[in-house]
Structure 1
Amino acid sequence: MELFIAAAHYGSFAAAADTKFVTPNAVSSAVTELETIFNTQLFIRRRAKGLITTTAGHDLVVHTERLLAQAEELTLLIGNRDDTPRGPVKIGCYATLAATIIPELWARTTQQLPHITLDIEEGPVEQLSQKLLEGRLDMMISYQIGLPTGVISDELFHASPHVSLPENHPLANQHSVALKALEDEPLILLDLPPAGDNTLRLLHGQGLHPNVIHRSTSYETVRSMVARGFGYSLFFQATHTELSHEGLRIVDLAIDPPLATEPVVLSRDLEAHATHRADAVRELVITMFTASAPDGPERRH
């Protein structure tokens, strides 16, 4: 089953063989045997494109990964008489949030759950959500917007949108800025899904027609473009530094009138059985943000 999972993840028998230290023929034989057992095709084999997982193959991947995780959990529990959480926990994190959340989470996990190993994956919400529902992540941290159905979420905190301007911008000395005042100016858009669509939806909801001159999936690239004076941007996540990577100053201003905040949530698969170690990490994440605030309600999507 592990050879089948590897083939599905890497899209070729050769790549799967390299990761499992076996021959490609061994992987191919294992897959063929499974197809015989289940009497169905698990992969479409194409020389130019490698392996394409069929619907049946995809379903088998999802259920097999869950079973393997449960088997691993059982092994850990049997050999863990003191009930100490131990083993790997896979967490997805929306890329722009990772820099301000993951280091603190890593430090707390090291101190409070020393037998747990974190496996962090950063990316856009759609990619992380798919892996969560396929059982390839235990949980994910992201904005609430863009989450699919079938997940349950714990609210961690609310992020307030703000405008970022170059230091020499005529409005940079103000305490706040109206979005209308920036409508005709060039917008450098953070376009890591769903951020780009969310920003445009927000601006259009204010009756504005932004002048987007550049899109980037990199938070730091957008900040550097702003610092250079090429335009302004709008972010939900805060940063503790006023400088771009080039050492140029960026000014963050509140929006007047204030816009609605966006919840940041910790999500997990509604139907998945959480492991003991995943539950321990989930509680740790929640306490990071609720030490001075009441617990947020669980939300189903």
Structure 2
Amino acid sequence: MNLPKPEHDELADGPIRAPDFSLRQLSYFLAAAQHQSVQKAAGVLHVSSPAVSAAIAHLEGTLGVTLFKRQHARGLILTEAGSAFAVQCRAFLQNANDLLQPGSLDRSALRGQVKVGCLTTFAPLVIPSLLNTVREDIPNAKLTWTEGHHEYLIEGLRTGTLDLAVLYDFEIPSGIQVMTLRSAPLQVVLPPQHALTARTRISTADINTEPFILLDLPRTREYMLSAFSSHGVLPRIAHSVTSLNMLFGLVAAGHGFSLLNFCPPYTVPGIGRIVSRPFESLVRQPNIVVAYSYRYHYPRVAAAIVERIASIIETLTIESP
């Protein structure tokens, strides 16, 4: 949930008004989100259940949104608006606590280890740049990293072997919070000499009879195939690959087309380059997100690293003209 940016500097016109809720109410809300229960949150906070319920009701009334779905069997489940609000609450409370620490406003005081995971498909364009900017901007931070597929990264967040993960927002389980960075719509990947490159958008009917090169990775396979099955058709799979380099090589050599959400400009040495065009599909278009567990303390150094990740992702070229 992105808050609107002010059209002018409020500090120039007068004091900034405090919102109609307290830090304590935010902490009650986050505890309920983490434990998915008013009763459990109250027990951890050593307050009464009505106090937690009242805090949530006040926030929902003030914001004008529903923060939780109430399910008898599963307890409290964050809504989409609730998830977005929880991200801002966690960062806000952490920053408020950090203000009490000595030297909290000194960038050189940012220190500590942060373990970052990144989806294999775009890790090569994210991790090296992140290592550079952290080394230059946050010299006292220790950044460790790994790359992997979706399930590997989610499991790392669950077990604590990862603090942050950069991935698509596919089937994010309860207990994992995400911060949206940018959308990543499906694209058709083609050799530049293909007749369909003249189109501004490509539909399933345009490519259904063409040989399809499938990126056969966990989650990716099912998602790509659903882009066809949602239209009641199946692709003609010519090749299954497990790496982008092989996919790009086969496409550039004219052995078929592929589908990707992330397709930066790429030239295969000795063969040629690839191009991409927007794909019209009924499947949900994912977002690239930063994810972390509710159990993660989310220190200020992690917030600084997330800020750098967001900047890198924002400037990535994810389409190949």
Shorter-chain TM range is: 0.5 to 0.7
In structure 2, relative to structure 1, the CA distance for the partners of 1:281 and 1:257 (3 Å cut) is closer
Q: Which of 216, 232, 235 matches 1:191?
A: 216
Tell me, yes or no, if structure 1 residue 254 matches structure 2 residue 278: yes
CA distance in 1, matches of 2:306, 2:198: 41
CA distance in 1, matches of 2:314, 2:277: 26
Q: Which of 284, 288, 304 matches 1:280?
A: 304
Hey, what does 2:199 align to over in structure 1?
A: 174
Number of aligned residue pairs: give it.
212
In structure 2, relative to structure 1, the CA distance for the partners of 1:118 and 1:245 (3 Å cut) is farther
Question: What is the TM-score of this pair, normalised by structure 2?
Answer: 0.60
Report how far residue 228 of structure 1 moved: 1.4
Hey, what does 2:161 align to over in structure 1?
A: 136
Report how far residue 102 of structure 1 moved: 2.3
Q: SS of the residue aligned with 1:147?
A: coil
Percent identity (aligned): 28
CA distance in 2, matches of 1:275, 1:256: 41
CA distance in 1, matches of 2:224, 2:280: 16
CA distance in 1, matches of 2:129, 2:171: 25
Tell me, yes or no, if structure 1 residue 227 matches structure 2 residue 252: yes
Tell me whether 198-207 or 127-136 shows the greater mean CA deviation: 198-207
1:49-83 CA-to-partner distances (Å, cap 9, x unmatched) read xxxxxxxxxxxxxxxxxxxxxxxxxxxx9xx9644
Q: Which of 166, 182, 185 matches 1:157?
A: 182
1:258-294 CA-to-partner distances (Å, cap 9, x unmatched) read 9753111100011232344323322333455579xxx
Tell me, yes or no, if structure 1 residue 86 matches structure 2 residue 114: no
- Look up the equivalent residue of 1:138 and give its one-letter code: D
Aligned-residue Cα RMSD (Å) equals 2.5
- Look up the equivalent residue of 2:297 and give its one-letter code: H
Report how far residue 257 of structure 1 moved: 7.0
Contact 2:227 2:281 in 1 (8 A): no
Tell me, yes or no, if structure 1 residue 270 matches structure 2 residue 304: no
Report how far residue 223 of structure 1 moved: 1.0
In structure 2, relative to structure 1, the CA distance for the partners of 1:285 and 1:244 (3 Å cut) is same
Tell me, yes or no, if structure 1 residue 107 matches structure 2 residue 132: yes
Contact 2:126 2:313 in 1 (8 A): no
Structure 1 gaps of 5+ residues are 1-76, 292-301
Q: SS of the residue aligned with 1:267?
A: strand
- The correspondence of residues 233-248 of structure 1 with structure 2, limited to 5 A, is 233-241=258-266, 243-248=267-272
Contact 2:230 2:283 in 1 (8 A): no
In structure 2, relative to structure 1, the CA distance for the partners of 1:117 and 1:247 (3 Å cut) is farther
Contact 1:91 1:120 in 2 (8 A): yes
Question: What is the TM-score of this pair, normalised by structure 1?
Answer: 0.64
Q: Which of 229, 250, 262 matches 1:204?
A: 229
Report how far residue 96 of structure 1 moved: 0.6
In structure 2, relative to structure 1, the CA distance for the partners of 1:257 and 1:195 (3 Å cut) is closer
Runs of 4+ in structure 1 deviating by more than 4 angstroms, as ranges, are 256-260, 287-291
